[in-house]
Amino acid sequence: MRASRRAVSGLALAREACVFCLQRRNLRRTVRIALVVGVVLTLINQGGVITAGHATTATWVRCGLNFVVPFLVSNAGLLSGRQ
């Protein structure tokens, strides 16, 4: 029964974190960070491959991750600074 309560409280905590991160003011900040960092990382890591015309599906997946990772990290920072 204890594990069940922890699972429910864990889900409630995750839901609360998602609601907080998806607030307009927070989302605006984290999306901007992800866009800037994602563009820079893509240019640094995949720019040569893309401009040479040798981009594969794997290249585009990596480019997408260049945006997802900073978005997740900025949200983690947002949550860690939450009081």
pTM of the full predicted structure? Answer: 0.83
Asked whether 30 and 74 are in contact (CB, 8 A), the reply is: yes
Domain that holds residue 67: 2-80
Give CA–CA dist 46/16, Å, rounded.
36
Give CA–CA dist 20/59, Å, rounded.
32
pLDDT in tens, 13-70: 999 999 999 999 999 999 999 999 999 999 999 999 999 999 999 999 999 999 999 9
**Total number of domains in the chain:** 1
pLDDT in tens, 19-30: 999 999 999 999
